[in-house]
Amino acid sequence: MGTVHGRCSTKLRNSRNGINGSFPDRRRPAVAGFENKDNTPPNQAAHTTPTASAPTNMASLPYAHVDCSLRALAGQAEGFGRFAIGGLHGPLYHVTTLADDGPGSLRDGCRRKEPLWIVFQVSGTIQLLSYLSVASYKTIDGRGQRIKLTGKGLRLKECEHVIICNLEFEGGRGHDVDGIQIKPKSRHIWIDRCSLRDYDDGLIDITRESTDITISRCHFSQHDKTMLIGADPTHTGDRCIRVTIHHCFFNGTRQRHPRVRFGKVHLYNNYTRNWGIYAVCASVESQVLIRL
């Protein structure tokens, strides 16, 4: 498939009544008013049934079916971000340096226009000097290494099909600096198994008509305004926003778990502990379904 500089190679329960209608079980997290134009609810990925030859202990591990091979992750999100494929059809890009920029850096891979599955051959902290913009059809796959981003965050601007997995975000500084900023008009995004804490603005912000996003199994801590969905009361275009948040741990964060304006948000199996002001805020025409 060709080579890219910087080291690339080819290689909830039963149905119940809710907002304007009934909700099916967690395997099909649809909400009346949340449906697609063809009225087909967003399917959550079904867990793979272990085969007789699979070790019992492996089959019972969370995400065993998506971690069995590198690219098995693609297309396995639950909920509204279920179509995200990231860099499934592109070559591997190997991050070989913790430098902010240059050959072999994360920034160099993320800015490229072609699909890429980005993996790391190093562990450590990447000090971002400015927002790191992520182009369409990228998977940033931190599995197997420990990668921490600090200083600034990721910016997903007018992009689609991005998967971000197993990264740490800590210590973002500056005006309007979020851990992951998704705006405007980005779609088919999956943020999975990330840890986020201590940014000057939000940890994850989803605004300006960005939609079809899933946030799963993430850990949020040491923060005030955790997650914003919907920019402000004047941005009526945010009525298109659809987000699923599941199996996340909000650990002592003060507020916005999330705060929603206009969007349609489905939350299930999340744990919010010791919030300071409020847990979830639904305002300005938002529709929020919460299942334990």
Catalytic residue among 82, 256, 259, 261: 256
Could you identify the residue written with the tokens 């948040």? Answer: 245
Asked if 185 contacts 158 with a C-beta cutoff of 8 angstroms, the reply is: yes
Asked if 161 contacts 135 with a C-beta cutoff of 8 angstroms, the reply is: no
Q: Is 256 a catalytic residue?
A: yes
Find residue 219's DSSP bridge partners. 195, 249
Long-range CB contacts for residues 167-172, cutoff 8 Å, separation at least 24: 167/140, 167/142, 167/194, 167/195, 168/194, 168/195, 168/196, 169/194, 169/195, 169/196, 169/197, 169/199, 169/203, 170/195, 170/196, 170/197, 170/198, 171/198, 171/199, 172/198, 172/199, 172/200, 172/201
d(CA 7, CA 226): 35
Return the active site residues. 256
